Every structure is written in C-alpha cells, then in structure tokens.
Structure 1
Amino acid sequence: MESQPLLSSRDTHSIVIADLHGVKNILVGSYLNVLLLFIPFALASESLHWSDSVIFTLNFIAIIPLAKLLGTATEELALRSGSVVGALLNATFGNAIELILGIIALRAGLIRVVQASIIGSILSNLLLVLGCCFLAGGLSRYEQSFNVTAAQTSSSLLALTTLSIIIPAAFVKGFPQNDVNHALLDLSHGVAIILLIVYALSLLFQLRTHSDLYEDVDDHEEEPTISLAAAVVMLIVVTLLVAWHAEYLVGSIEGIVTQWHLSETFVGVILLPIVGNAAEHVSSVTFAMKNKMELCVGIAIGSSTQVGLFLTPFLVITGWMIGQPMTLYFETFETALLFASVLIVNYLIQDGKSNWLEGTMLLSVYAMIAVAFYNAPIPGDGF
C-alpha cells in the first residue's frame, strides 16, 4: 500500500501562492518598506570602495525597514506558536537589531560604541518613543490611561538595571585604580549573570504567574498572513541581511567619526538607536493615536527593560567569551543621565495617566541629552 503525501501538489501550489500574496501585502503595508530600495546600493558600497560617510548612511537607511520586517516575521511566528512560545519569540527578537549591532561592534573592539548604544537604546525608548506617544495621543484627547501596575513593574526592573550600572561606577571610584581593573571584569560578569536570571524570572512573571497584568485589552484576534515555513524563511533571510548591513555599518563608524567630527559616544547614544527603534517608534505613535496606550507603554518601557536585563548582560558575557573586556562600568555622565531619565519616567507614569505636556517634557529631556552628547569633547581635539 503506497503512502499518501501529506500535501498534494495542488495544496503546495496554493500555499505558495498564498504566501506570495501575503509577502506582497507585508511589503506594501508600510511606507518604511520604500527604504528597501537602498539595500542593493548599501550592499555594493563596500565593494565599490565608497567613502565611509556613504557606506554608513546607506546601510543605516537599509537596516530601518529590515527592522520592521524582522518584527513582522517574529509576529507571524508568534501567531502560529501559542501564547507562551510566541511571547518568548517576541522577547528574544524584540531587540534583535541592537543585539546584532552590539555583537559585531564588540567583535571589532568598539566597546565604547557598544556601551553608548546600550544607553542610547534605553534613553530612546524611554524618552523619545514614550514622549512621542504621549504627545501624539494627547493632542486630540484631554488625557489617556494605561495599566499602571504593569508599567511600574517594568519600570522597577529598569531601575534594577540602572543600579547594576551604578554599582560598578561606585566600585571604581571607591577603590584604588590599580586594584580595580581585573576585579571590575569579575564584578561585571557576576552582575551580568544575576541580571540574566532576573530577566528569566521576569518572563515567568509576565507569561505565567501574573500574565493577567499583561493581557491585551484589544479583543481582536490577529490572523497569520503567511505560512509557518514562509515566516521562518523570512526571519532567516532578514536576519542575515541585517547582519550583513550591520557589518558594513560598524566598519564605517571610525571613518565617519573623523569625517563628521563626531564622538563615538554620540554615534552610539543618538544615531545607532534610531536604526533599531525606528519601526517600534512608528508603531507606538500609531497605537497612541488610536488610544491604545497599553501597547505604547508596553513597547517603550518593555523594550528598555529587555535592553537592560537581557541585551546588556548578554553582551558582557559575549565579550567574556570572545576576549573583549566589556564591563558594566559606563562613563559617569551616561550613568547620571540614565538614572535621571528612569527617575523622571517613573514619576510620570505613577498615576497611570498621560497627556501631551508630559510627552513634551520627555521629548525636551531627550533633546537636551542629544545636544549634550553632540557637544561632548572629542578625545584628541583641541579647543
């Protein structure tokens, strides 16, 4: 007796046609995807030996729509994987762009860029993304409300992250410099392991024991656009493209620092987070205008928490494995700004309500920070 194939050729053909139609809908579903036209030029820029400024700019632009597609592929997988696995996928790939950029920069020995991009990603989500949400949603409404318990839980975890950066700073200042260097690495490795454990426990809290606090108030059930196989292929292809572009982007940083007279810190804190957060930024503002503040606050503060509890310690451990002395000791200026920003956001969300003025305040804080980093002295420059 001959075994029958699970899918006939007609069924396979129908799935392929449906996937092609789904991919087409995904590509035309966002104006950001117009920037995909920059991909061939960005990939060719290195081989054609264009200037570092051109290479950086083209690859910077190309990664933005890829970040959106990476998020879409992850969501498609999540819709077909159940609530727990889906949430884990979103948690893992939520900051995939920052993770890829961080690993490549770390491998290149650009530790200051990695540290600056970590601070920048947290500040961008907390101040720029959340500020735009409060402002965009508040312009047409007196005030908006959100789940204060879930927001404050995430914000408290972010405060823990801030403490994990303050401790190494106090450690360095509190002991003789000659005795600190090796001990600082050991301290950072130990704290990184603790943060990863806390991150795993926070996922357990969010997905199992207190999942009701994080339930989406929107009852609309989303349907997958493409098949599971197509989503996996899309995720792999987009991830490989992002890694390719990130390699060129990171390789051109030292060149643009010289050509544009910028510091590596400004590039890491202000420019690189735009790449990873652009898609989230657009989505969050759209949700805010539709009065879906649970999603907005969840994206902004949740992404910051992921960077602090997962991405940061993961990069420290990665540096440990590849022989790069990545630590949790950041510049005092960056640490102070992070502490102040987390404090401000904690204060603004404690009542579970937002308005346009609060959004303006967050944006003004981010603007002041950007101006400060832009004017920060560049090592070796005379005045």
Structure 2
Amino acid sequence: MFANVAYAISIGGTIVTLALRILGADDTLTFGVAALTILGLAYTLGHATEQLGIAAGPRIGGIMNATVGNVGEIIIAAFLLLDGKVELVHASITGSIVGNLLLVLGASLLVGGLKNGVQSYDAQATGMNAASLILATIGLVVPATFAFLIGGGVGTAPGDAEFFQVEALTVGVAILLLVTYAAQTWFFLRSPAAPTAEHRPAEVAEWGWKMALGVLLASAAALTMASEVLVHTLEPAVASLGISEFFIGIIVIPVIGNLAEHVVGITLAYKNKMDFSLLTSIGSATQIALFAAPVLVFFGLIVGNPLTLVFTPLEVVAVAVGVMIAAYIALDGKSNWVEGLQLVSVYLILAIAFFFLT
C-alpha cells in the first residue's frame, strides 16, 4: 500500500512540479509540491536500488542501498552550493548526521523495543561505523577550532587570508575522510566476517535488473529536477512560512532527502532485524560524514562556491552528542525502547533549539 502511494506521488508529483515551475505558480505551493515529490522519489529510488542489490549480492547491495539512500540530499546540497547557499549546506550535512543518529536510530529502537522487547545485535559490526563517526567528528571539530584560533570562522569571505588557510585545511581533511571511507568500504567487501553478508535469507527480486535500472535512472533524473525547483523556491517559501532557512536546512531538508532510509530502518527494527536496522541509520550517517561532505567540498571548489568544514558551535555540539550516544549504544550489543525514547527526546531538544535560532 505504502509503495503504491509512493509510486503515485513520484509520477504525479514530478508532472505537477514541472508544470508549476513552467507556469510560475506560487512559490510556497511549488515548494510544498516539490518537497512531497522528493519524498516519493526517494522511496522509489531506494526500492529500485534494493532490487538491483538483490542481483548484485548482499555486500555490494548494502553499499548501493546506503549510497543511493543519500542521493536525494546530495543532489539538494549540490543545487544549494550552485546557488551560493553554503551555510544551508552546512546545516543539511549536520541535520542528516544528527537525524540518522538520533531520530532514525531512536525511532527504530523505540518501535523495535515496544514490539520485541530487549533486542540484540552484532556490536562489532556497528562498532566500525561508530569509530568512523568519531573520526568524522574530529574532522569537524579541528577545522572549527582552527578557524576560531586564526579568526577565520563562519562568515569569513573567500578572499581573506584566513579563509585560504581554512580551505586548505578543509581540503586536507576531506581527502583523509574519503581515503578512510574507501578503505572501510574495501574492508567491508573483502572481510569474510562482513556483517551484512552473514545470515541473510535468500531474496527474490520483484523486478528484473533492466526494469530496476530504468526506474533508478528515471527517478534520479526526476529527483534532480524536483531538487532544483525546491532550491529555487526556497527563499520565497521560507519568507512566506516565517521559518528560518537554517531550520529548513537542518531539519526539513534532511528528513525529505532521507525518508526512504527512515522507513526502512524502522521497519527492520519492527521485524527484529536490528543488525540491518542499525547499519541503515548509523551507516547512512557514516556515509554522509565520510563521503558526501568531502565530495561536496570538492564540488564547491569546482563551481566557485568553496565549502569549508567550519560549522557553527551548536552544529558541532549536535553532531558530537549524536555520535557519542550512537557509539555508546552501538558498543552495547543490546537495546530497548527506553533508549529509543531517549534518543528521540535529544533530537527534539536540538530541533527546538534550531527552530528558535535565527
């Protein structure tokens, strides 16, 4: 039922969004329709990737699911960079990491715990992602601290000497994060003990690989169009709704871009498949931190809107808190619904703070 609704939203929303854009309709209406369309396309894209992953095998399929699951947000962030909205890109990166670690993980533990009681999972499997997230946090804290010490913090202009130093540090950190991500992925593929390769029941694809590939490419193209419309109508819509751009970037955009993963993670926890559920939430946050953020750094250089890894103090604190709690839970090996409620509560506390931050 949910899948059919998502497919209908994907097709109908794409057509309506394009029509509203061409006709120059009200920006707030167009923004809302584009956001709803992206929600449907994110699910459709994820399902097509899942079908391809079944044919490719569990390990490669797992990486494909994690990668394509973040495509929506990466595309939106790319258009934001093209439009020069660097601070919104910072917010969306932070929001995606925090959302996956607190909201998605928390909701998964809450729903899974209420349904199944105390749940167990492979602490070693999730521990590797947790360690990578700690590295990513260091990659955020060091540039922010360095920028503060030399006076090149948030808001420094690209022409300033301090900005050049911060950008040089950012590029170095981005390279190291990408190398780490590549090494981790290689280890995941080559290790005989790779967690997603074990005890996975045989699956039969609903679609043939040609159909899955066609749906994936069509969804990606439609997602690109809808993302461009979303970014184009962002400022007028924000002004009309009376919500700060920062809140849109750190809360709304990550939720829109990652809805498919949110649904999958919670569903897996409900079915007592906690290993896969944790890999969905924590793994997605890891990929945003180690892959998407560095890629956006280099994309910003290419399009002439440099993106540094200098985040605001509240953003750094939010990521650090999310990583700390997720690492604690990941290394425990057991979870319950109370822990899930605590994670969701922390996310809501941060969301309230972000809402009132202008």
Question: Would the TM-score normalized by the shorter structure come out above 0.5?
Answer: yes
**Pairs within 5 Å for 1:1-383:** 29-36=3-10, 37-83=12-58, 85-177=60-152, 179-209=161-191, 211-218=193-200, 220-377=201-358
Count of residues paired in the alignment: 350
Length-normalised TM-score, structure 2: 0.93
Deviates more, 1:48-57 or 1:121-130: 48-57
The 1:168/1:313 distance shift into structure 2, 3 A limit, reads same
The answer to whether the 8 Å contact 2:77/2:89 transfers is: yes
The 1:258/1:98 distance shift into structure 2, 3 A limit, reads same
Q: AA paired with 2:226?
A: H
Residue by residue over 1:94-120, the C-alpha shift from the partner in whole angstroms, topping out at 9 and shown as x without a partner, is 311111111111111111111111111
Q: AA paired with 2:329?
A: L
Determine helix, strand or coil for the equivalent of 1:207: helix
- What is the rounded CA distance, in whole Å, between the counterparts of 1:56 and 1:216 in structure 2? 43
Determine helix, strand or coil for the equivalent of 1:140: helix
Determine helix, strand or coil for the equivalent of 1:80: helix
Residue by residue over 1:1-50, the C-alpha shift from the partner in whole angstroms, topping out at 9 and shown as x without a partner, is xxxxxxxxxxxxxxxxxxxxxxxxxx974543343333322221112222
The answer to whether the 8 Å contact 1:87/1:207 transfers is: no
- What is the rounded CA distance, in whole Å, between the counterparts of 2:221 and 2:121 in structure 1? 37
- What is the rounded CA distance, in whole Å, between the counterparts of 1:106 and 1:176 in structure 2? 24
Query: Percent of counterpart pairs with the same letter?
Result: 36
Determine helix, strand or coil for the equivalent of 2:357: coil
The answer to whether the 8 Å contact 2:141/2:316 transfers is: yes
Cα shift at 1:276: 1.7
Residue by residue over 1:208-265, the C-alpha shift from the partner in whole angstroms, topping out at 9 and shown as x without a partner, is 13543333433x2111222222222111111000000000001111112211222221
The 1:215/1:86 distance shift into structure 2, 3 A limit, reads closer
Determine helix, strand or coil for the equivalent of 2:52: helix
The answer to whether the 8 Å contact 2:53/2:62 transfers is: yes
Cα shift at 1:180: 1.9
Determine helix, strand or coil for the equivalent of 1:139: helix
Q: AA paired with 2:350?
A: I
Deviates more, 1:303-312 or 1:202-211: 202-211
Cα shift at 1:174: 1.4
How well do the aligned residues superpose, as a CA RMSD in angstroms?
Answer: 1.8
- What is the rounded CA distance, in whole Å, between the counterparts of 1:76 and 1:139 in structure 2? 30
Cα shift at 1:283: 1.6
Residue by residue over 1:345-377, the C-alpha shift from the partner in whole angstroms, topping out at 9 and shown as x without a partner, is 222332111111101000001111111111112
Length-normalised TM-score, structure 1: 0.87
The 1:295/1:86 distance shift into structure 2, 3 A limit, reads closer
The 1:189/1:79 distance shift into structure 2, 3 A limit, reads same
The answer to whether the 8 Å contact 2:62/2:196 transfers is: no
Q: Which residue of 2 aligns with 1:381?
A: none
Q: AA paired with 2:258?
A: N
Please identify the structure whose Cα radius of gyration is greater.
Answer: 1
The 1:350/1:92 distance shift into structure 2, 3 A limit, reads closer
- What is the rounded CA distance, in whole Å, between the counterparts of 1:82 and 1:288 in structure 2? 22
Q: Which residue of 2 aligns with 1:19?
A: none
- What is the rounded CA distance, in whole Å, between the counterparts of 2:254 and 2:67 in structure 1? 18
Structure 1: 5+ residue stretches without partners: 1-26, 378-383
Cα shift at 1:338: 0.9
- What is the rounded CA distance, in whole Å, between the counterparts of 2:121 and 2:205 in structure 1? 27
Cα shift at 1:89: 3.0
The 1:119/1:176 distance shift into structure 2, 3 A limit, reads closer
- What is the rounded CA distance, in whole Å, between the counterparts of 2:198 and 2:38 in structure 1? 29
Deviates more, 1:347-356 or 1:30-39: 30-39
The 1:203/1:142 distance shift into structure 2, 3 A limit, reads same
